[in-house]
Structure 1
Amino acid sequence: MVRAWFMNYDTSVDQREPHQFDPPQPVSLEELEKLGLLYFQIKNTDDVEKDEVLQKVRKERGYSYEDHITCSREKLPNYDDKLKMFFTEHLHADEEIRLCTDGSGYFDVRDGSDKWIRIQLVKGDMIILPAGIYHRFTLDSNNYIEAKRYFVGEPVWTPHNRPNDDHPARKQYLQSHGGENTTQTRG
């Protein structure tokens, strides 16, 4: 089950904390879908080739390439620089697909009013962010996640930092999912 909430983003608090309002303000899967995000629960993360849900998604969406990433101080070269880069708000020209196979972390996106939504990923969670959506990623306080990344064709990992509202993927995203407020550039 997806775990998402509106974020109380206090810059004096570590980015790896949940940043929930008091009381929490949950965000439903339906609200995420309106932003173009898709969520799947993958039950067999130990042998993903046998997971029927994953294989169906891969076939339907044409994911022909996959790799595996481990984000931890011990496994990720240039760990501090990479985490800083991942947490810089950006978009991609293609979908971003992540299946958490171990550990945990957060993806942050903005709603149509430019409010931050935090989405928690734990083992078995698969999220698909549409091309052109501004987002960022951070580890949580466990400082560890393993994930499979899926792509259509050759992988392209180029982040286009915000603001980049003239990028074709951003224009297409706004046309498909955005409202007037999402075209504004804010920090």
Structure 2
Amino acid sequence: MRAFYFDDIPGDQRLLHDSGIPVSDEILKSTGLLHWHIPTSQQNQIDTVAKERSYRNRDIITITKDGLGDLYEAKLKSFYEEHMHEDEEIRYILEGSGFFDIREHPSDSWIRCQVDAGDLLVLPAGIYHRFTLDENNMIKALRLFKDEPKWTPFKRDSSTDVNPYRVDYLKGLAVN
């Protein structure tokens, strides 16, 4: 995984948008984001991470124009709207590539995380983020869940700013 500050230049969200300013592992850690690279030939290591972090359920999501058909553009648009979840978001990239953008606190800058096959990302509950495919227009990912699979996005607004999971996320940053 490669991380850098988003350039904020208008245009296709699937383009690189690399500002030329890299983001260090230390900065990523300060946001609460965790990441590993586990080659897809060694997927059994995912079971070890899942056990250590109490992930009990999983499924696979594939995002392609052919697979989603008429819903493709609407899904990409919804994934790219800034939001948070009340659970960790865990993705292990099996095939393809894309971008997870996370908000750095307190600067509110976007950090773009470029992911490819073998990358495992854990976004903490309460972090503002968004997702998009890159120009390859395809990603297949294993999604891991602590409990029953669910994916409920809460769009950023004044109510999410006071959401208990967001508040806890910010308190956790203050401790570190």
Give the alignment's Cα RMSD to 1 decimal. 1.4
Q: Is the 8 A contact 1:35 1:178 kept in 2?
A: no
What is the Cα deviation at residue 88 of structure 1? 0.2
2:83 alignment counterpart? 90
**Cα deviation digits, residues 89-120 of structure 1 (max 9, x gap):** 00000000000000000000111200110000
Pick aligned residue for 2:64 from 50, 72, 76:
72
Q: Is the 8 A contact 1:46 1:101 kept in 2?
A: no
1:15 alignment counterpart? 13
1:177 alignment counterpart? 173
Secondary structure in structure 2 of the residue aligned to 1:114: coil
The structure carrying a bigger strand percent of its residues is 2
What is the Cα deviation at residue 46 of structure 1? 4.7
2:145 alignment counterpart? 151
Per the normalisation by structure 1, the TM-score is 0.88
- 1:85 alignment partner AA: S
Pick aligned residue for 1:33 from 26, 29, 45:
29
Long gaps (5+) in structure 1: 180-187
Secondary structure in structure 2 of the residue aligned to 1:76: helix
Q: How many residues align?
A: 171
Pick aligned residue for 2:120 from 103, 109, 126:
126
Long gaps (5+) in structure 2: none
What is the Cα deviation at residue 55 of structure 1? 2.1
1:184 alignment counterpart? none
**Cα deviation digits, residues 125-179 of structure 1 (max 9, x gap):** 0000000000000000110000000001101211000011111110100100159
The structure carrying a bigger helix percent of its residues is 2
- 2:61 alignment partner AA: I
1:3 alignment counterpart? 2
